[in-house]
Structure 1
Amino acid sequence: MGNADNIKIGVKGRAYVADVGTTFPTSPFVAWGTGWADLGYMHPDGLEEALGEDRTEINAWGEEAPVKTRIKSRDGSFKITFLETTADLLALYYAVLTDDMTSVAAVVGPPATAQYLSFGTGQASPGIEKALGIDIIEGDEIERIMIARVDVSDRGNRKRSADDASSFELTFKPLAAPSGGQAVQRFLTNVALPTP
């Protein structure tokens, strides 16, 4: 018989980025430490995770189905739409290092001017690799996803209108972890292993 307690709902979530190599929390109950930047409010659609495999199929004479398959590669992606405009999100969306941005301070005046951020785009770059952390939260239930190294593989169109927030739709592609570790590590609370 089913157990409704096993149904997980992503009521809310948080996403964090840091430089590759930044230390991850050691459990789902440990706060994100030094070096992790909270990316702020996200669209109500939440997180969309996709998994994929590329397989080689071995066919045999006279058989309708493959007799064996081998996994050549596994990949995945994590798509999130962010609502806040911050330097970290601008850097991810436009593939610009924050070190290449300039913040111009506000001037009291006269004439008074507000603070503004300045940066350029258009140079070819290898992308901005980051470590990514995601918490999916429902009450005291937490699923924590820690990805050692990601690049932004796709960016949705930015729309500016009076009807909706100017958002950043980003798809993160996990890359091989530095030093050969696990590319993606997960913590899920209140999920028991079956007894042998």
Structure 2
Amino acid sequence: MGDASTIIVGTAGKAYMGEVGSTFPTGPEEAWGSDFTDMGFITPDGLEEALEEERTQLDAWGEDAPVVDLARKRTQTFKLVFRQTTAHLLSLYYQVGLANMTSTAAAVGPPGKKQFLSFGSGSLADTVEIALGLDVIMSGKRHRIMIARAGVTDREAVKHSSEDSSNFGLTFTALAAPGGAQSVQHQITDVALPTP
């Protein structure tokens, strides 16, 4: 029988980033630690999570169906579109480490000058990887996703126009976690585990 209370509609959500190796919260209701940074506003499209598998099937003589079906590789991706322009999002979009960016302070003048950030892009040697935390929220329910190590593997074109903000559409791929840990952990409130 259906139970409407088990339906999750992501009416809000947040994304957090930290250094690879950062400690994740131990429960979905716990606050994110100081080693995580809020990544800012996300467009109403929300989070798109995908799980893809590459499989190998082994056949046997005289059998009309595979006798073994092995998962060779699992790829988990998480797509978000961010509305804000911050140093962290620029770093992820352009694959430039924060250490390779320069902030020039504002000057009173005359003439006055505004603060600005400058950086170059295009170096394949400058790879940015993060620990990624995602919260999908709906009226008291929370689905928390914690990715120990993630990299940006796809980027949408940034459109600069008067009709919308200059958004950063990023697809993160979960990478192998340090120390052989699980690369992706899920915590979901109010989902009962059936008793055997």
1:121 counterpart residue number: 121
Residue 179 (str. 1) matches residue 179 (str. 2): yes
Residue 157 (str. 1) matches residue 150 (str. 2): no
1:132 counterpart residue number: 132
How far 1:64 moved relative to its partner? 4.0
Q: Secondary structure at the match of 1:92?
A: helix
Q: How does 1:87-102 map to 2 (within 5 A)?
A: 87-102=87-102
1:76 counterpart residue number: 76
1:36 counterpart residue number: 36
How far 1:63 moved relative to its partner? 4.0
Q: Provide runs of 4+ in structure 1 moved above 6 Å.
A: none
Q: 1:117 to 1:126 in 2, by over 3 A?
A: closer
How far 1:54 moved relative to its partner? 1.0
Cα distance in 2, alignment partners of residues 82 and 18 from structure 1? 17
TM-score using structure 2 length: 0.96
Cα distance in 2, alignment partners of residues 90 and 46 from structure 1? 20
Alignment root-mean-square deviation, CA: 1.1
Residue 12 of structure 1 contacts residue 137 of structure 1 at CA under 8 Å; is this kept in 2? yes
Per-residue deviation, residues 123-148 of structure 1 (Å, max 9, x unmatched): 22252111000000011101100000
How far 1:67 moved relative to its partner? 2.5
Per-residue deviation, residues 74-104 of structure 1 (Å, max 9, x unmatched): 1110010100000000000000011111111
User: Sequence identity of aligned pairs in percent?
Assistant: 53
Residue 96 of structure 2 contacts residue 126 of structure 2 at CA under 8 Å; is this kept in 1? no
Residue 127 of structure 1 contacts residue 152 of structure 1 at CA under 8 Å; is this kept in 2? no
Cα distance in 2, alignment partners of residues 74 and 104 from structure 1? 43
Give unmatched runs, 5+ long, in structure 2: none
**Amino acid across the alignment from 1:147:** I
Q: Secondary structure at the match of 1:152?
A: strand
**Amino acid across the alignment from 2:20:** V
Residue 58 (str. 1) matches residue 62 (str. 2): no
Give unmatched runs, 5+ long, in structure 1: none
How far 1:72 moved relative to its partner? 1.1
1:142 counterpart residue number: 142
